Amino acid sequence: MNTVTNNLKSQWEKLKATSPNLRIRNAAEQLGVSEATLLATQVGETVTRLRPEFAEILSDIEKLEKVMALTRNEECVHERKGIYLNADFSSPHAGLFVGEDIDLRIFLSHWAKAFAVSEKSEHGDRKSLQFFGKDGLAIHKIYLTKDSNDLAFEELVLKYKSDDQSIDETAVEVPLNIDEKADADIDVAGFQAAWETLKDTHEFFGMLRKFGVTRTQALRLAPNENYAKKVEKDVIVKMLEGAAVAKLPIMVFVGNRGNIQIHTGRVRKTMWHGDWFNIMDPDFNLHLDMSKIAQTWIVRKPTEDGEVTAIEVFNEMGEIIVQFFGKRKPGIPELKEWKELVATL
């Protein structure tokens, strides 16, 4: 153990003593290190390093039975309970879990470190698998629930335990690449024509790359307000409360560089806590820091199944925080009730 790591370990112990409810992500920020670096100080105690065999580990998660999947970015946390079914890592671009409950799009090129964590809490033992990028930011976490298979967790940890159980951890800065061209340098007419002739929502990202526009720039340069309309952020609260009252199934996408996590279904209990607006349902929780929202847009894209309407939410850097859709699948038009709800906002 080097002196720096030893000092960090003791600093965290002091911080936990004075702020026992402080989350590790916030503790790392206070101590000026990455979350992965701070977590690694507990290796050999409550933490075990796993080999970076991410596709294999994730494919084995089904054996844990019902767990809680957590994916977050700086402004939003998405927690969904379920079983990891239908793993598919056949594509070099993205791994998939496509289940009713656990629905993920996984970009493994950004995954770097894996840990198993068994910690004591006021609610008893808390076991999890935690995955981080090169920058030490958490990409995805999987927590056991009362309905999980604890023995399968122990077997998984043994199976993938790394030979390296060092408590020293390094993180490298991964630059945020959102360089925006001047509007005058964009083929705006070509871009707008391409938007108007989209056949599938998944073509949108490719269209952005083709014309060299950022996501928020694309919304500004949309053909007209029917395609993209900037709105106040309280629209999000109105929409979620309205969907809860109407018992309307929606889709909620939250992601980071390495993973996108999707909830499809109804939302029931919504509530404020400070700056955070929350969904607090038995199998789905969402925590959205409303104070960090810089832009909110209602966005419509034509597809072969008709128009698809989304509410897209961005931070000050132009990064997407969360997207909301009405429940839909390819080949099935979006719900009329969703269109009607968005039209009232």
Strands across the sheet containing 295-301: 87-88, 95-98, 103-106, 259-265, 250-255, 320-326, 308-314, 295-301, 228-231
- Are 155 and 25 contained in the same domain? yes
pLDDT at 93: 87
In tens digits, the chain (345 residues) has pLDDT values of 567 778 899 999 999 999 988 999 999 999 999 999 999 999 999 999 999 999 999 999 999 999 999 999 999 999 999 999 999 999 988 999 999 999 999 999 999 999 999 988 777 789 999 999 999 999 999 999 999 999 999 999 999 999 999 999 989 988 877 789 999 999 999 999 999 999 999 999 999 999 999 999 999 999 999 999 999 999 999 999 999 999 999 999 999 999 999 999 999 999 999 999 999 999 999 999 999 999 999 999 999 999 999 999 999 999 999 999 999 988 889 999 999 999 999
Q: Does residue 337 form part of some domain?
A: yes
Q: What domain count does the chain have?
A: 2
Which one of 103, 125, 160 terminates a domain? 160
pTM over 0.85: yes
- Are 194 and 258 contained in the same domain? yes
Q: Does residue 100 form part of some domain?
A: no
- Are 142 and 188 contained in the same domain? no
Q: Does residue 148 form part of some domain?
A: yes
- Are 155 and 220 contained in the same domain? no
Q: Does residue 175 form part of some domain?
A: no
- Are 131 and 245 contained in the same domain? no
- Are 122 and 260 contained in the same domain? no
pLDDT at 1: 57
- Residues 6 or more apart whose CB falls under 8 angstroms from that of 167 comprise 1, 5, 9, 40, 41, 42, 43, 44
> Domain range spanning residue 317?
183-272+289-343
- Are 123 and 201 contained in the same domain? no
The 3-state secondary structure of the chain reads CCHHHHHHHHHHHHHHHHCCCCCHHHHHHHHCCCHHHHHHCCECCCEEEECCCHHHHHHCHHHHEEEEEEEECCCEEEEEEECCCCEECCCCCCEEEECCCCEEEECHHHEEEEEEEEEEECCEEEEEEEEEECCCCEEEEEEEEEEECHHHHHHHHHHHECCCCCCCCCCCCCCCCCCCCCHHHCCHHHHHHHHHCCCCCCHHHHHHHHHCCCHHHHHHCCCCCCCEEEECCHHHHHHHHHHHHHCCCEEEEEECCCEEEEEEECCCCEEEECCEEEEECCCEEEEEEHHHCCEEEEEEECCCCCCEEEEEEECCCCCEEEEEEECCECCECCCHHHHHHHHCC
Q: Does residue 166 form part of some domain?
A: no
- Are 32 and 148 contained in the same domain? yes
- Domain harbouring 40, CATH code: 3.40.1570.10
- Are 211 and 137 contained in the same domain? no
Q: Does residue 105 form part of some domain?
A: no
Q: Does residue 89 form part of some domain?
A: no
Q: Does residue 279 form part of some domain?
A: no
Cα 227 from Cα 48, distance rounded (Å) = 49
- Are 144 and 213 contained in the same domain? no
- Are 56 and 8 contained in the same domain? yes
